[in-house]
Structures are given as structure tokens and as C-alpha cells.
Homo-oligomer: A and B are copies of this chain.
Amino acid sequence: MGDHGGAGGSRRRRTGSRPSSLGSGGPAAVAEEVRDSVASPDVGAGGDARALARDKNGDARVGSGPLELRCHRLQDSLFSSNSGFSNYRGILNWCVVMLILSNARLFLENLIKYGILVDPIQVVSLFLKDPYSWPAPCLVIVANVFVVAAFQVEKRLAVGTLTEQAGLLLHVANLVTILCFPASVALLVKSITPVGSLLALVAYTILFLKLISYRDVNLWCRQYRAKAKTASVGKKASGDSTQGTISYPDNLTYRDLYYFIFAPTLCYELNFPRSPRIRKRFLLRRLLEMLFFTQLQVALIQQWMVPTIQNSMKPFKDMDYSRIIERLLKLAVPNHLIWLIFFYWLFHSCMNAVAELMQFGDREFYRDWWNSESVGYFWQNWNIPVHKWCLRHFYKPLLQRGNSKWVARTGVFLASAFFHEYVLSIPLRMFRLWAFTAMMAQVPLAWIVGPFFQGNYGNAAVWLTLIIGQPMAVLMYVHDYYVLNYEPS
């Protein structure tokens, strides 16, 4: 109930943020007057000539006493809609402060409850069961075989010693093996850990997508070469002379292929845009970020997610729905924070570091998905390498073959759902289709969010599905894995 009367410092700001539609000159001028007298302490209480002189408009109450007596004026409260006031800038700061405080409390509560659980050594056990057997790195090294195979096929196709049909057959065989070989190894070799197997499968998936792109682009080049030959033999000479760029058969070198394999993109191109030099300070910053965020992710998972997930097993078993929801919401916060850190770590730190090292020029690994107002916009903008690949090697070819946009779109989601299931089910050795369902659910979700939520509401809906959807899937998998492996049957 106490107010302090000094009006010095913040007067300027208050005047700036005052409602502009108040009064019609008369009262506003009086208000200005009152505020002036507040600011200048020399104005006495016994009547002020200057104020009297100015008070010409409306009902002058000279008879009722000195102007000092007037301290009210006809006006609305700011929350009343006809006050015209709309400056709620402070609310954003309020949100930020409340968020930080609530999560500081959660973090402190967690520390009190569980003590410090962070243990970097423990992480090693995720990758290694038997220290004399390293199945996952071996798998990744073996992947080179498939790279060489694809290269040899392309080499023979370029000089014509292999027909297009035979080339296609060999490529398909190679690509199918890329998917089946690591899967069977992961399922059969007992010493492989789920995390090691997951990483190996992700590496093979990336290779699979890259080799499809490599094959497609080389095929397009051959088609173009054939067209150019038949159409205009004369024009060809001038086109080929562009200096510094590589044209079709010259690109078929191991050096070129391996550059593509390690480059942070899934789409092959004969002449990648290159950055002029390696910026050492930029690279160092990215490397430090990689190191720091890796530590942070491990610490958050160990300290925050694991205990929360462990606590969720009982409600899940008892099918206690209100507790399941409570656990889900509790898991949502650390899960979402870790996902955000993971996003930054992978798409900004890691990819930029690799690109800087390789002088790879195109750094658009993500677009502004945080502003997405529809589910579609999110999927098109959060993971640009995959989005670009899908567009170039899946969506557009499907459209070209006369499929409708709707079919092509669903096809993309189907493929994506397949790969999500592939890299999750095989390492965990259980087939539950949660990841597949989650990906396929994006199609109807886009229908729901699209027309019903627009603008900021659409954006909030996208955030909500991100924040809630992921921990749901995580809980599903962990629960099933727990039941399968640790439950006394």
C-alpha cells in the first residue's frame, strides 16, 4: 500500500507508454499540468499562477479554490477496452522470469531428491559392452565397401561398359544391402549396445540417402549429355570451357565422392559452393560448442530425464492416467530442453564445424522453424539437408511420374516414418511402430492444425505438439523396453 512520490527518473517513460486516445485536449492538458507540478517541487500548494493561466478550456473552477485541489479527471482504467491501451511489453519479461524460476525450482528439487547423478564415465558403457569387441565402429568402417561398390558401378556406367538396366539393378542391390546388412548385424551380434547400434544405423541411413543422390545426379548428367549430343553438337564446345567447374565424367573420382560422403549435405552436386577459407576462430567456437553441449546433454539426461523416466514406470504399469499425464508433463520440460540443445548442437555446431573444415559453402542446415505456424512449415524448415533430399530425390520424381501432390507428400512421410522405425526398433530389438505411428500422425495433425489454428495460435500449437509429442514417444519406447528386458515375467 505504500507508494513513493519521486517522479524524477521514470517520467519520460511513463509519458511514452501512456494511452494515446485519452481525453480530447482539455483533460489531457490538465493531466500534463498535474504531472508537471509533480516534477517541479517548487510549485506550491497555495495556488499556482501559471497553472491558473493555462486552465482556460472547459469549466474553469477558479471559484472552488486553487488548482491544487483538482487531482482527478474523467478517465477509464487501462484494462477497460475503451481506454485504447495496449502496451503489455512487460508480459514477455514476466514469462521469461517465471520460466527461469519454475525451472530453477525443478532443477533444485531434482538435486535435493536424487543428489548428483551426472557420471561421464557411465556414458562409455552405453557404447561398449565388451571392451575387446567394437562392433559399431567396425560396421561403420565396413560401410566403405558400399561406397566403393557404388563408385565402381557409376564408373562403368559412365564409359558405357554397363547398360543402364544392369546399373540400376546393381545400385538397387547395393542400396538394399546397405539397409539390410547393418540391421542383421545389429540383431545378431550380442556384444553391440543399443546406442552403438543406433549410431551405426543412422550412419548407414545417411549413406543410403547420399548414394541414392549420387546415383540420381550421375544418371541425370548422362541423360543431359545424351540430349546435348543429339540436339546440338556445335554448341557443346563453348559450354564445356567454363573454367574451374567440373563437368560430368570428370567428377567420378574417389576424392570427389568422399568429399560428398563427409560433407554436411545429402544432395550430391558436381560443383559444391565452397567458402573461400577456413575461419579458425569460427571453427574453434563451433568445436567448443560441440564439446560443451555434448557434456550438457549427457548431464541433463543423467540428472533429469533418467530419474523422471524411472519414476514413470509404476504409473504406467498401474495404468494410473492422471499420474501418467503428470509424469508426461514433468518429462516434457527436460526432454524439450535437451531436444533444443540437441538441435543447436547438431545443426549449428557440428554441421558448421564440419562444413568449415571442408570449406563447404552452403550453411543452410535449418530455417526459422521456431516461427512455424503450421506443421508442414515445421517439417520443411527444421532439417534442411533431409528436406532438400526428400524434395529433390523423392517428392519431385513422384510428381513427375504423375502422382498427385497429396500422394507424394504422404509418400515422403511414409519413407520418413520407415526410417525412424528402422533406426529405433532394430537397436532396441523390439517392433512397436511407435515412431512409425508418430511420423504418420503428422499427416492428420497437419490437417487439424492447419485450418483451425492460425498465426500465433498455429505457432503455439506446433510448439505444443513438439513439447508433448516427443516425451510421449520416449515414454512409450522406454516403457516397452523396460517391460521386455527388466520385468520378471
- Which of B329, B332, B409 meets A5, CB within 8 Å? B409
Would you give the shortest CB distance from A448 to chain B, in whole angstroms?
14
Stretch of A68-76, A141-149, A152-160, A192-200 lying at the B interface = A68-76
Instruction: Decide if A390 is an interface residue (CB 8 Å cutoff).
Output: yes
Task: Point out the residues of chain B lying under 8 angstroms from A348, CB to CB.
Answer: 77, 79
- Tell whether, in the assembled complex, residue A361 and residue B75 are in contact, meaning their CB atoms are under 8 Å apart: yes
Most chain B beta-carbon neighbours within 10 Å: one of A224, A225, A408: A224
CA distance A97 to B99 in the complex (A): 10
| A92 to chain B: closest residue by CB | B92
Per-residue CB proximity of A454-488 to B under 8 Å, as 1/0?
Answer: 00100110011001100000000000000000000
CB-defined contacts of A413 to chain B, threshold 8 Å: 2, 4
A85-B17 CB under 8 A given contacts A4-B380, A224-B66? no
> Which residues on B sit within 8 Å (CB–CB) of A371?
13, 17, 87-90
Kindly specify which of A117-125, A181-189, A265-273, A426-434 makes contact with the partner chain: A265-273
Is A256 located at the chain interface by the 8 A CB criterion?
no
A2 near B420: Cβ-Cβ < 8 Å:
yes
- Contact (A3, B87) CB under 8 Å given A244-B59, A270-B64: no
Interface size on A, residues (CB 8 A): 160
Tell me which residues across on chain B come within 8 A of A131, comparing CB atoms: none
**For A376, what are the chain B residues with a Cβ–Cβ distance below 8 Å?**
4, 6, 9-10
Q: A31-66 toward B: CB 8 Å interface, digit per residue (1/0)?
A: 000000010010111110000000000011111111
Select A60's contact among B242, B412, B464, beta carbons within 8 Å.
B242
Are the CB atoms of B47 and A227 closer together than 8 Å? Answer: yes
Contacts of A275 in B (CB 8 A): 74
From A170-178, A296-304, A393-401, the one touching the partner chain is A393-401
Q: Is A246 an interface residue (CB 8 A)?
A: yes
CA distance A258 to B247 in the complex (A): 95
* Cα distance A167–B31 in the bound complex, in angstroms: 33
Known A220-B69, A329-B104, A392-B71: A416·B80 in contact at CB below 8 Å = no
Q: How far is the CB of A340 from chain B (nearest CB, A)?
A: 9
Interface status of A112 (Cβ within 8 A of chain B): yes
CB under 8 Å from chain B, chain A span 416-451:
416-417, 419-420, 423, 439, 442, 450
Task: Tell me if B98 and A363 are in contact (CB < 8 A).
Answer: no
Which of B45, B96, B362, B416 is the one whose CB lies under 8 Å from A400? B45
- Contact yes or no, B463 A97, CB < 8 A: yes
Whether A272 lies near B224 (C-beta < 8 A) is no
- The reply to whether A61 and B245 contact each other, CB–CB distance below 8 Å, is yes
Q: How far is the CA of A365 from the CA of B76 in the complex (A)?
A: 9
A220/B415 in contact, CB under 8 A: no
Does any Cβ of B come within 8 Å of A287's Cβ?
A: no
Judge whether A388 is part of the interface by a CB distance below 8 angstroms.
yes
Instruction: Please name 12 further chain A to chain B contacts, defined as beta carbons within 8 Å, in addition to the given A46-B220, A90-B459, sorted by A numbering.
Output: A2-B419, A5-B394, A10-B377, A14-B377, A14-B380, A70-B271, A74-B274, A75-B363, A77-B364, A79-B348, A93-B463, A105-B330
16 chain-A/chain-B pairs, Cβ below 8 angstroms:
A3-B389, A4-B409, A5-B408, A9-B377, A41-B405, A44-B400, A46-B220, A64-B248, A65-B217, A70-B271, A77-B363, A77-B366, A78-B366, A79-B348, A101-B329, A112-B322
